[in-house]
Structure 1
Amino acid sequence: MTPTHSKRADMPTDFKTLRVVEEGPVLQVQLNRPEHGNALSGEVLTDLLEVLHMLQEDTTIRVMVLSGAGDDFCQGGDRSEFPALLAEDPSGGSLRALAAKAERVCAALSTLEVVTIARLQGDVIGAGLGLAIYCDLRVGAETCRFRMPELGLGLPPAWGGVLDRLPTEVGQSWVRYLLLTSEPFDAHRARELSVLHNVVPPDGLDAAVSRLAKTIARRDPAAIRITKRMLSARANAAQLSVGGYFDGELLTSAVTRAVNARSSRGQMSSDPS
């Protein structure tokens, strides 16, 4: 992707963890930490929030494509941050702030009136799957690998309020199974579960996403925004009434226990277990 100038004077163009490129009515947003599996650190969440807040005010962009640099879309939350955050604030305040930031990212995605497309390849794990599931449409390469490993790590699947979104996208029964077993699944199974809408060969991923983005970008922008508002209102009504309220506290409590139990063994990293 080659950066271009924005149509808005205040369009963010310089991020440490993202590559943001405007292509007419389509905004390409790429997680850009391939050396860390594009793990979602606090800095990544801050950058994503800035982009999403900009899009809430921008009427020139109709589609946002969210992708990941390198071999993987996203290997989950950056757990390597947890020990430092806990050392900084043993009461868990810093961890709660991180959890709240993840919730704000997902809330912004779920209410965005721009159509969002997740372009997925390689590992789509934990928080990475949560981030993708908050996008409107998801296109994945046949080589995608999915997993929700949190329970195996001693953590609740609380990232970003994902338990509000997953059952409406996948279905309560299968969400229960995937969370309790942490069983991995491939792209074709993801298509059966509605985690993916389209599955394509790896060398056809960019073309498939581009076709979808161009098709949507040709739609009337007012009609798109009204449709997104209607879908958002329906989804919000179907969400768990108190699920998100406890996510920060749940995550903080569990992370504190996990850090204390594992840090001496060097097991708390950003890589999936």
Structure 2
Amino acid sequence: MAEDIRVEKHDGWVEVTIHRPDKLNAIREQTAIEILEVMTEVEADRSLKGLIITGSEKAFCTGVDTSEQKNEPDEAFELWRRRKRSRKVNQFFRALPEFTKPVIAAVEGFALGGGFEIALLCDFIVASESAQFGLPEAKLGLMPGGAGTQTLPRLLGKPLAKELIWTGRRVKAAEALQLRIANHVVPAGKAVEKAREILKTIGEQGPLSVMFTKSAIERGLDVSLSEGMSVEADAFFALSFSQDRNEGLSAFREKRSPNFKGN
């Protein structure tokens, strides 16, 4: 039984709810271990088309639980090694953009620090009107450590990302929508419902098409247009050999719904 999360399997996707109410859903090593295990299971199950990550009405996630972080003076280099090789929270952050299936963050309440970074590392965010986003680390003499200095500037541009990181200002749902931090803003309590609606639609598409386009977007974003076009062309060519491609074209000609198999 999971200690830090609640898992619900639906017809076509899985929902992970971070459940540490006494910590406002701050994550620790155990949380990361449990979510990584679910991600592995979802990747391996061809019937599952994606993943929704959510929290409670009060907090999506308020960052990394600092009570586990103890800096002993004579263990600095051991901490460096663990950070690189064995720390599960770090592995979780890195795993999100490499996950081959869609991951939607359904955010109610606070998404702060590492919680905001988790949401940014998902494919996109569905927020409720109660959502608030922010990176308050500078107020603690720290800095974002879950890719916030990399994801936020790519989304907003350097000047605005710097302002938000340096001031720790919280962004409410309406502004998050305006800034394209969130794809959708819905009434309080409805974020998961909207994420389900979107994931159902995605699940009706060719799963290999979704996988390859996700890879092309992630890989192509930080290269030249010419290189990005090559990335896309390779993926397009690979898909031409799939059985799903043949099924999709046949279904179109026969005016029926396709029966994609993911092969």
TM-score, length basis structure 1: 0.75
SS at the partner of 2:60?
coil
| Shift in Å, 1:101 | 3.2
| Shift in Å, 1:92 | 5.7
Corresponding residue of 1:74? 61
Q: 1:179 aligns with which of 148, 165, 181?
A: 165
Corresponding residue of 1:10? none
Q: 2:71 aligns with which of 70, 77, 86?
A: 86
Q: Provide, for residues 145-169 of structure 1, a one-character-per-residue CA deviation record: whole Å limited to 9, x for no partner.
A: 1211101101121x22332222222
Q: Is the 8 A contact 1:39 1:74 kept in 2?
A: yes
| Shift in Å, 1:60 | 2.0
SS at the partner of 2:142?
coil
| Shift in Å, 1:16 | 1.2
Letter in 2 for 1:116: V
State whether structure 2 residue 152 is matched by structure 1 residue 161: no
| Shift in Å, 1:233 | 1.1
Letter in 2 for 1:36: K
Alignment of 1:101-120 (within 5 A): 101-120=88-107
Q: Which has the larger radius of gyration?
A: 2
Q: Provide, for residues 96-119 of structure 1, a one-character-per-residue CA deviation record: whole Å limited to 9, x for no partner.
A: 635753332122110111111100
Q: Which runs of 5 or more structure 2 residues have no equivalent in the other structure?
A: 225-263
Corresponding residue of 2:120? 133
Q: 1:190 aligns with which of 176, 183, 187?
A: 176
Q: Is the 8 A contact 2:14 2:42 kept in 1?
A: no
Q: Is the 8 A contact 1:104 1:160 kept in 2?
A: no
Corresponding residue of 2:204? 218
Letter in 2 for 1:86: N
The one of the two structures with greater contact order (alpha-carbon pairs below 8 A, sep at least 6) is 1
Q: Which runs of 5 or more structure 1 residues have no equivalent in the other structure?
A: 1-13, 239-273
Corresponding residue of 1:45? 32
The verdict on how the C-alpha distance between 1:96 and 1:133 changes in structure 2, with shifts beyond 3 A counting, is: farther
SS at the partner of 1:160?
coil
Give the total of aligned pairs: 222
| Shift in Å, 1:40 | 1.4
